[in-house]
Structures are given as structure tokens and as C-alpha cells.
Amino acid sequence: MNTILTIIAAIIIFAILIFVHELGHFIAAKLSDIKVHEFAIGMGPKLFSFGKGETKYSLRLLPIGGYCALEGENSLSSDSRAFINKHPLKRLVVLASGAFMNILLGFVLLIVVTSTMPQIPTNQISYVEENSAAYISGIQEGDIITKVNSASTPIYKSLRFELSDTNGNETEFTLIRKGEKIKLNVTPEFKDGTYIFGITFAQKDNNIFTTLKQSFHETVFYSRVIIETFFDLLRGKLGVEQMSGPIGIVSEIGGAVEQAAQTGYVGFMNLILLAVLLTVNLGVFNLLPIPALDGGRILFVLIELIRRKPLPPEKEGLVHTIGLIALLLISVFIAYLDITKFF
């Protein structure tokens, strides 16, 4: 039963994420008066379709993608409403709108989850353990931690993330104490198999304004982590084997579904949080300047704006084709690693 529920949940989540992404492209294209031939959810054989005006809307068999087919998107066209013939700024907006909608969806889902919390953890210290590393360094109750080393920590989640990444090293805290900014260095103590600073954080009552602020900062936080992870991969700090593909993601969804079946409401909220991570990841990853992705296409539009003339379409197409092949090969490799991990 859990396997069936996992498959259903995975299909629903992937379908919603893809639908929202392609809807972003579709809305931006329509607002820019670009001809849209087809708006499709899924890939492969067509399950059903209907036409309205110049656009065909279709649902396809495989819930692994989708597309918004624009006139002149990948080739030259004499049509004045073709994508290729629109001003570069309009094309840039169309290309970025899919990712923007995914990130916006993450923000909305975070509002849903956060609004159910009676209290929100903060970055204000409520207790300092006597003789702890923080106590010895001069940290006091009531201090608000705004930075850990050079990383901004506007919310508790980003603060906890940065503290977990200190690995026992001396850490610089930027604090607000009675309206004044101060900096203190703290070296965590190794105790019971982990590094601890000896501080506890306060919580505050939740309201609509707190919910909106918290959700916004969490969306920014997840986006920043995804970008940092990408650059860590480029620098060799992380290996490809530490990434998860569709198989790994479905496994994570399965875990969340099982938790939801056991705990009900709490597990369902965690399933929504997983959807938040996936949709923000999809949005941010698509904006990275990688050929074949929206970000790669945006890069070419920016180059066109700087040069004041487009690059030859065949050259851009070749770059995107090579990028697509590379992404497919990486995806196959990650899928293989997922299989070895879970099977």
C-alpha cells in the first residue's frame, strides 16, 4: 500500500511542479504576445488534448516533464509574434518566468506550513549554559545572532544550518545587544559526540506578518543553499555521488508518505516541506547558467543585449544540444548511484 501511495504522491508532486513551471512560461508568453502552439504536461504519448484559439492543451503519459511550445523558440521564423523576433527583455522574462513560478510556489507552500505553527523559533538567545563555550566567550541572554562568520542568519533555520557547518572551528558571531552590534569569537566544545556552543534560542508568537517574513526568508535560505551546493560541486567540495536523482527523490517522498500515514497531520506538513525543497530546487537550478536550461538560454539573451546583436542560432543550438547530452549523462549516472544506494 505504501508503495502505491508513494507512486501516487510522487506523480502528483512532480505534475504540480512541472505544471507550475510551464504555466509561468505560458503566462509570460501570452502577456508578451508570443504565439504558443502547445501547452503540455508530461511527455510521450498523448492521453488527451483540446484546442482553444491558436493553442493546443495536452496531457501526456509520462509525468517526467512538460513543455510550452513557442513559435520560433528553437529556430528562425518570419512570424512577428515568434519568440525569436521579440525584444531580448521580453524573451528574458519568458525564460525566467518558469523558475520564478516554482520559487513562488515554494513561498506559498511555506506560508501554508508556517501559518499552522503557534510559535516561531528565533535567532535570539534565551539561555546561555554556565561555563559553556558561549558563556566563556561573553555571549549573553537576549543577544540576537545576525551573522555566523560571514553568513547572514535572519532566521533560526539559517542560523542552525551555519552552526552545524562550523565543524568545531572557531566561529565569529555578529550580535545585536541592546541595539549595538558586537562581534565575538566562540570555539564550540566537543561533548557527547557533537560540537555544542551551550546556547538555547527563544521562540515568539506567530502572526500573519511573522508568517510572511519567515516564509520569505526561508525561501531565500533554500535558494542560497542550492546555489552554494552548485558551486561546491564545481569546486570539488561535493561529489556527484552526494546528489539525488528521481529515484532518490521518490525514495524521500516514500519516507514522507510513510511518516504521514503514521503521524497524520505532522507527516503531511513534512511532505509539503519536501515539496517546497523540490520546487525551489527546480526553480533555482533552472536559472543556473547551464546550456539547455532556462538559465543557459538567459545567458545567451544577456550576451545579445551586451553585443546588441544575437549569436547565430545554429551555434547557440549546438551549445544547448551539448549541454542537454551532458545533463542526460549526469542524470543517468546519478540514477545509477541511486539504484546502488537503495537497491
Q: Tell me, what DSSP letter sits at residue 291?
A: T
* Cell numbers standing for residue 243: 546528489
CA angle 269, 271, 277 (to 5 degrees): 105
The rounded Cα 133 to chain-centroid distance in angstroms is: 35
The rounded Cα 312 to chain-centroid distance in angstroms is: 32
What region, left, alpha or beta, does residue 214 occupy, with left being phi > 0 and alpha being psi -120 to 50 degrees?
alpha
Any catalytic annotation for residue 22?
A: yes
Residue in the structure block whose three cell numbers are 549526469: 330
Among residues 22, 71, 218, 316, which one is catalytic? 22
- For residue 17, give the nearest of 321, 272, 323 by alpha carbon: 272
| CB neighbourhood size of 236 (10 A) | 7
Q: How far apart are CA 290 and CA 323, in angstroms?
A: 7
Residues identified as active-site: 22
